[in-house]
Amino acid sequence: MTHLLAAQGKGQLMQADVLNNAPVIVVAGSETTATLLSGVTYYLLTNPRVYDKLKKEVRGTFNSDEEITIDRIGDLPYLLAVLDEALRLYPPGANPHLRRIPPEGAILGGKFIPGNTAVGMNQYVVHRSEENFARPDEFIPERWIDGDQEPWKNDRREALQPFSFGPRNCIGRKYVLNLENPFFTVRVANP
């Protein structure tokens, strides 16, 4: 919002542009974060082994809530794996982000797609496909840590794109992955 208002102040955006984009930014930022945290909470509560392992990692790394900072979250590989696995099974924005095929057409997956065709990928389907992940319907954070071992060795981890990628990726990615972690980590460590 700060950047939108600054651009408006410099005459780069009209007030209508700011007003049209503000609701999207607010909803996208808050709703996706809430959805991710809901998914993580659900999977931790239904997988006591994972919850206990995560709690042990957090309590073994930090002695107090004050020690938990964004910079220190990188010291928690299991927490990061839990978040990746929750994003895989419970993607906050699972609907396709449609793009248009160039006017001359393109070949996708070995098939010609006519120009100007809208195409997209449903993350829920991709993330739960056996072509991409072993035991795709199971919540197993270890797949993100032990990726070179069976049965995860052939997982296509690059298929996990919950924030899209390229020039149209979600600008809020860093906030979802970084700002919410300390809050969530405190709650896991001290429920």
CA-CA distance, 10 to 34, in Å (whole number)?
Answer: 33
Which token pair is 68? 């938990």
Contact criterion met (CB below 8 Å) for 185 and 68: yes
The verdict on whether residue 174 carries a ligand-binding annotation is no
Three-state DSSP at 19 gives: helix
Name the residue type at position 101: I
Instruction: Give residue 139's Cα distance to chain centre.
Output: 15
**H or E element that contains 53:** helix 48-61
User: What's the burial of 12, exposed, middle or buried (CB within 10 Å: 0-12/13-18/19+)?
Assistant: exposed
**Beta strands 99-100 and 111-113: pairing type?**
unpaired
Residues at the binding site for heme are: 170
Extract the annotated binding site. Answer: 170
